[in-house]
Amino acid sequence: MTTISRWVCILIVLVLGVIVILGLVFGLKKNKGTTNKGTTRNLKEIVVERCLMFIKEVDTSDNKCDQIWSTFKHAFIGKNPCNVKMGDYDQFIDTVHQYISRNKTLFWSKTQQIAHDFTKATKCFMTLEDTLVGYMMDGLTWCGQNSSMEFDYTYCPGYKECENNPVSSFWKRASMNFAESAQGRVAVMLNGSMSQPFSTSSIFGSIEVNHFNSSIISHVNIISVISSTYSGPCNSMSIRNLTSILKNKRINSTCKAITVSEIQNCTSKHNPQSCDCVINGEL
């Protein structure tokens, strides 16, 4: 072997080694997020406890947590976990009573963390996860089994295996209900750092926008969350798409780009003006 081909060999081995290591690291990382776990242990206790806590803190006292739990369970128990549809949660959604005040609804897409930090700090708005329905199930996994009254604690299918799994269908149904009940001025936080801040394949783009009721929504305040002031994502094709979808539904909208640090600045001061500084400021 010549020296050159030896070096080439060493180089190839090194490159392959790096690829394998990177593959392992990313593969494991990815797996961690997408590995399908079974039903969350103590699901009933967690859900009922969250329900009671929510009712104690927010006044929705005509809710009965036992009844909510049983209609929830009824939606998917004993069913093939790849055949639970949005409509299976209709009765559950009807059982939960919650009124969201006008001008208080906040939608989000690819801005989960900052949107929730914002609603937690300011209490001016509510995301789905700040309502009873979303609060009870946030972060949990559940599924049943064909012709058995047991939960499956070992494995629940994810969105990639089948669209009509109990968790995805739940969030779609809950999002639909949340969007239908939005009134007055509503807001949505989109991720202005992405090439498509508004995507028609997101839950917001495929379900929520389609269920906006133009007779009760007066205005949509689009907030494009960006990392720096340089980008001008309100003019992006995808946000113009959203504006035109809303226009077709006869809903007016405005878009404002706002930086992550402006939002953090605003949520770190726990004062009443913080309600205005992100969302109502420039209407």
In the window 122-161, what residues touch ligand NAG (CB under 6 A)? 146
The yes or no reply on residue 21 touching ligand NAG (CB under 6 A) is no
Decide whether 98 or 111 has the Cβ nearer to ligand NAG.
111
The only residue of 83, 168, 210, 231 in contact with ligand NAG, by rule CB under 6 A = 83
The only residue of 127, 164, 196, 274 in contact with ligand NAG, by rule CB under 6 A = 196
In the window 243-282, what residues touch ligand NAG (CB under 6 A)? 252, 260-262, 265
Decide whether 65 or 257 has the Cβ nearer to ligand NAG.
257
**Please, what is the minimum distance in Å from the beta carbon of residue 197 to ligand NAG?**
9
**Please, what is the minimum distance in Å from the beta carbon of residue 46 to ligand NAG?**
27
- Tell me how many residues contact ligand NAG (CB under 6 A): 30
Q: How far is CA 263 from CA 104, 112, 114, 276, 279, in A?
A: 17, 14, 8, 11, 10
**Please, what is the minimum distance in Å from the beta carbon of residue 2 to ligand NAG?**
47
| DSSP track, 94-109 | HH------TT-BEEEE
Decide whether 90 or 180 has the Cβ nearer to ligand NAG.
180
Q: Assess contact for 110 and 128: CB atoms under 8 A.
A: no
Distance in angstroms (rounded) separating the CA atoms of residues 94 and 75: 12
Distance in angstroms (rounded) separating the CA atoms of residues 67 and 71: 6
The dihedral formed by the CA atoms of 25, 30, 33 and 39, expressed in degrees to the nearest 10: -100
Decide whether 35 or 112 has the Cβ nearer to ligand NAG.
112
141: nearest Cα among 212, 64, 37: 37
- Continuous H helices in 35-158: 43-57, 65-76, 90-95, 112-122, 132-137
Sheet holding 252-259, edge to edge: 106-109, 184-191, 217-226, 252-259
Query: Coil, strand or helix: which one is 88?
Result: helix
Which x/- pattern over 102-121 shows residues binding ligand NAG (rule: CB under 6 A)?
Answer: xx------xx-xx-------
Residues forming contacts to ligand NAG in the complex (CB under 6 A) are 80, 83, 101-103, 110-111, 113-114, 146, 180, 184-185, 191, 193-194, 196, 213, 215-216, 218, 225, 237-238, 241, 252, 260-262, 265
